[in-house]
Amino acid sequence: MYYQLYYKLTAGAYDLLDFVYFRNPGKSPRKAVVSCIGKKESVLDICCGTGANAIKIAKERPDAKVVGADISKEMLAVAKEKRRKAGAPNLKFYHMDATKTEFKDACFDKISMALVLHEMPEELAGRVICELKRLLKDNGELIITEWEPSKIRWQKLLFLPIHLMEPKSYRILLKKDLNAYFKTFGLEIVETKHCDYTKVLRIRKVKSDER
C-alpha cells in the first residue's frame, strides 16, 4: 500500500532523475544498460516506472522485443504516454506485481531493473529476485542498476537529497557484499559498469556444474 501511494504521488516528477543526475550521456546508466543488450533479444524492464529505460532500449534496439512491467498504474500511464510520443512499436507495458508476474518460465534474454532493489525490504527483494531468475533464460542476464555514491565532493553534495530521502533498506544494501548476496540466489555478478552516481551490474545464473 505504501509503495502504491508513493509512486502515485511521484509519477509526474520521477523523470527529474535524468535531468539532475544522468545529464552526462557518456556516463549515464541508461546508456550502460543498453550496451548490455543484443540487437534481437527479448527484454523485460521490471518495475519500469515511467519507462525511461524501457523506451531507450526499445528505441536503440528496434529489432528487440521489449516489455515493461510495473505495479503502479500511475507510473504506467506516464510510461504509455511517453511511448506514444517516442514511437516505439516494439515496446509493450503491463500492470504486474514483480513478485508474481504472468510470464512463462525462461522467456527473457535480459531483464533490467533500475533503482528499485534498494527500496525493498530484504524479504520482498528476495522474492523479486527469485521471480526474475525464473523468467530468465539459462544464458540470459539480469541488468541491475543501483545507486553508488560518488567520492567527488560536489557530487556528494548533489547526491545528498537522495541519500537522506531513501528508506532504511537503501543503507542496508550499500553495506552488502553484493557478490555474496546474489550467490545465495544462484546468481553471479560478471561485470560492474560504474556510471554517474550509479553502478550497472551484469548478473548471470550460476550453472549447476559451477556450484
Give yes or no for a contact between 195 and 114, defined as CB atoms under 8 angstroms apart: no
User: Is residue 210 very low, low, confident or very high in pLDDT (cuts 50, 70, 90)?
Assistant: low
Q: How many CA atoms lie within 13 A of 25 on its CB side?
A: 1
CATH of 2-210 given 3.40.50.150, 3.40.1010.10, 3.30.70.20, 2.102.10.10: 3.40.50.150
Residue 4 has pLDDT above 80, yes or no: no
**Can you give the pLDDT at residue 61?**
98
User: Is residue 140 very low, low, confident or very high in pLDDT (cuts 50, 70, 90)?
Assistant: very high
Name the CA radius of gyration of the chain, rounded: 16
User: Is residue 180 very low, low, confident or very high in pLDDT (cuts 50, 70, 90)?
Assistant: very high
Is the whole-model pTM more than 0.85? yes
What digits encode the pLDDT tens for the residues 85-101? 999 999 999 999 999 99
Euclidean distance between CA atoms 70 and 27, whole angstroms: 26
Residue 105 has pLDDT above 90, yes or no: yes
Specify the 3-state DSSP secondary structure of 47.
coil
What digits encode the pLDDT tens for the residues 23-37? 888 999 999 999 999
For the segment 175-199, the average pLDDT, to the nearest whole number, is 96
Residues 6+ apart with CB under 8 A from 204: 139, 140, 141, 142, 187, 188, 190
Amino acid at 92: K
Give yes or no for a contact between 140 and 203, defined as CB atoms under 8 angstroms apart: no
